[in-house]
């Protein structure tokens, strides 16, 4: 039961207002579900800090404010490489509300945007922490107690064809993930250098697949390499059973969909 | 618990009411303000029956904090008609039998209007995409899609 709603002009003030009895709300698509069900914390903390909705170029990438919505990502000229991912999240109303920062905390089977950010090697800046941005993989591991996300630094793929995302859902165009896969495969002279692959809905959080990355690293994206990657796709994954698919089904199809994604990237 | 006074614009008229802490916009509009056009379907952002427009952008009222609309413009299906004259989309829904039980209709209308406001000549795919966040369990969607396309064609003629 909510007892108070506190709206702060800066993220720093919002951070100071946080505590064990408080939850931070951005777009509301996750938090309001718990509020409606009467199972949320008792204090809702919000922030109208304008920096939360900033998108700016930074070095080799783009820094995205935690409060930027999926709809903005889908249309902004600096985030075109992430537009197909944003368009795969929810329906139009959800995309108008759901934020990039919130997606990092979305429980299974949600969080497809975080899967893409994980594959890109994104880093996370926190409110009130002036040190270096933290790798998203670390943040996802202890996301229950990390603090307030200020922004996310997403490296931009050197070539658009180096990055691809796939979401498998039963209902189209709007459906929840049976699974999702994102891959960043930069190629130099036809060889993959710096492979990054991540799966969504194949564990309790978005998971990086170091096994698939090892198979792909240094190889060309040919039929034999793709077959080896598909064969090892399940290593390190632990898919849950839910109303959309059983763990068994997810295990059966993960390699198939990885193969399709890699074949798409090989065609360019 | 202290209630919060909220002043906002609803369908072009200034309105004021009190919101409970944590109250969602759907409950606030229906119980506090008396606009019964947005419907309570799932209460968790899945069905789209509560779709309203805030400053011209569609939102799910059940997942929107009531006090976040202070000073903003909210438009619902109740504001579509002008007196006894129905909006072109409402006429089209009627002519094409796009409402059966009618529960999804206000949300469908708000989503469809948002589409036509930014894209007066949508393709069939545009319409499907625009209503993809609204669930209908009666019509199979085809009459709704046809209604929106017909309303757009009618509008293009005038």
Long-range contacts for A16-23 (Cβ within 8 Å, ≥24 apart)?
A: A17/A43, A17/A45, A18/A45, A18/A148, A19/A43
Residue B133 lies in a domain: yes
Q: What is the pTM of this model?
A: 0.96
Q: Residue B92: which CATH number?
A: 1.10.150.120
Nearest CB partner across the interface for A36, out of B44, B58, B111: B44
DSSP conformational letter for A69: B
Token pair listed for B59: 């939102």
Q: B97 and B71 share a domain?
A: no
Please check whether residue A25 touches B, CB under 8 A.
yes
Separation between Cα atoms, residue A14 and residue A6, nearest integer Å: 8
Orientation of helix B142-157 relative to helix B105-118, angle to 10°: 40
The answer to the question of residue B60 being in a domain is yes
Beta-carbon separation of A174 and B133 below 8 A? yes
Which residue did the predictor score with more confidence, A146 or A63?
A63
As a CATH number, domain A50-155 is 3.30.465.10
Chain B residues whose CB is inside 8 A of the A107 CB are none
- Are A185 and A209 contacting, i.e. CB atoms less than 8 angstroms apart? no
E strands, B44-141, in order: 51-54, 57-60, 73-75
Q: Which of A93, A96, A97 to mutate to probe the B interface, most B CBs <10 Å?
A: A93
Q: What is the pLDDT of residue B108?
A: 98
User: B116 and B136: one domain?
Assistant: yes
pLDDT at position A145 is: 79
Evaluate whether residue B82 is within a structural domain: no
A139 vs A119, A148, A219, CA distance in Å?
14, 11, 30
For residue B63, the chain A residues in CB contact (below 8 A) are 28-29, 32-33, 36, 97
Number of domains observed in the structure of chain B? 2
Q: Does A1 touch chain B (CB under 8 A)?
A: yes
Instruction: Please indicate, yes or no, if residue B81 is contained in any of the structural domains.
Output: no
- The number of C-alpha atoms within 13 Å of B95 and in the hemisphere containing its C-beta is 15
Contacts of B1 in chain A (CB under 8 A): 3-4
Which residue reads 């952002």 in tokens?
B45
Pick among 3.30.390.50, 2.120.10.30, 3.20.20.70, 3.30.70.2340: CATH of A160-267 = 3.30.390.50
Residues B48 and B23 in one domain: yes
Q: B98-150, pLDDT tens digit by residue?
A: 999 999 999 999 999 999 999 999 999 999 999 999 999 999 999 999 999 99
Its domain, for residue B147, covers: 88-157
Residue-wise pLDDT tens digits, A22-39: 999 999 999 999 999 999
Q: What is the pLDDT of residues B66-96, one digit of tens each?
A: 999 999 999 999 999 999 999 999 999 999 9
Residue B155: predicted pLDDT: 72
Listed in sequence order, the DSSP H helices in chain A are 11-17, 31-37, 70-75, 83-87, 92-97, 100-103, 112-120, 136-141, 210-216, 223-231, 247-267
Beta bridge partners of A65: A151
How many alpha carbons lie under 13 Å from residue A74 in its C-beta half-sphere? 18
Q: What confidence score (pLDDT) does residue B157 get?
A: 57
Q: How many CB atoms lie within 10 A of CB B9?
A: 15
- The whole-chain average pLDDT of chain A stands at 96
Under a CB-based contact definition with an 8 Å cutoff, are residues A206 and A232 in contact?
Answer: no
CB distance A61 to A154 below 8 Å: yes
Residue linked to tokens 């990237």 = A265
Give the rounded percent of residues in chain B with a pLDDT score beyond 90: 96
B83 part of a folded domain: no
| A206 token code pair | 């978005």
- Three-state DSSP class for A218? coil
Query: What was the ipTM of the complex prediction?
Result: 0.96
* Residue the block writes with tokens 């002279």: A189
Based on the fold, state whether residues B94 and B125 are members of the same structural domain.
yes
Alpha-carbon dihedral angle through residues A58, A62, A66, A70, given to the nearest 10 degrees? 160
């Amino acid at each position: 039961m909510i007892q108070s709603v506190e709206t702060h002009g800066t993220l720093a003030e919002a951070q100071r207002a946080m505590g064990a009895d408080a939850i931070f709300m951005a777009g509301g698509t996750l938090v309001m579900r718990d509020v409606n069900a009467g199972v949320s914390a008792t204090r809702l903390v919000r922030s109208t800090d304008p920096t939360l909705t900033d998108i700016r170029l930074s070095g080799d990438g783009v820094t995205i404010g935690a409060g930027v919505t999926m709809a903005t990502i889908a249309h902004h000229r600096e985030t075109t490489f992430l537009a197909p991912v944003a368009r795969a999240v929810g329906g139009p109303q959800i995309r108008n509300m759901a934020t990039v920062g919130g997606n990092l905390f979305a429980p299974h089977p949600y969080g497809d945007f975080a899967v893409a950010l994980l594959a890109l090697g994104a880093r996370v800046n926190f409110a009130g922490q002036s040190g270096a941005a933290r790798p998203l993989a670390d943040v996802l591991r202890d996301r229950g107690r990390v603090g307030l996300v200020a922004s996310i630094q997403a490296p931009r793929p050197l070539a658009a064809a180096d990055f691809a995302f796939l979401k498998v859902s039963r209902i189209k165009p709007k459906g929840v993930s049976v699974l999702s896969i994102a891959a960043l495969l930069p190629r130099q002279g036809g060889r993959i250098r710096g492979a990054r692959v991540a799966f969504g809905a194949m564990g309790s959080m978005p998971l990086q697949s170091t096994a698939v990355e090892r198979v792909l690293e240094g190889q060309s994206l040919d039929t034999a390499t793709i077959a080896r990657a598909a064969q090892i796709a399940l290593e390190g994954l632990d898919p849950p059973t839910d109303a959309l698919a059983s763990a068994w089904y997810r295990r059966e199809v993960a390699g198939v969909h990885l193969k399709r994604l890699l074949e798409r990237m090989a065609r360019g | 618990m202290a209630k919060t006074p909220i002043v906002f614009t609803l369908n072009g008229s200034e309105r004021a009411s009190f919101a409970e802490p944590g109250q969602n916009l759907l409950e606030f509009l229906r119980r506090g303000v008396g606009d019964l056009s947005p419907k309570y379907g799932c209460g968790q952002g899945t069905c789209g029956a509560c779709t309203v427009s805030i400053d011209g952008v569609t939102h799910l009222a059940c997942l929107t904090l009531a006090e976040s609309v202070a000073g903003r413009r909210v438009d619902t299906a109740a504001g579509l008609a002008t007196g006894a004259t129905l909006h072109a989309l409402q006429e089209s829904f009627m002519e094409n039998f796009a409402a059966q039980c009618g529960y999804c209709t206000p949300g469908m209308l708000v989503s469809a209007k948002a589409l036509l406001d930014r894209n007066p000549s949508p393709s069939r795919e545009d319409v499907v995409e625009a209503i993809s966040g609204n669930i209908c369990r009666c019509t199979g969607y085809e009459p709704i899609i046809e209604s929106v396309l017909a309303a757009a064609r009618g509008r293009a003629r005038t």
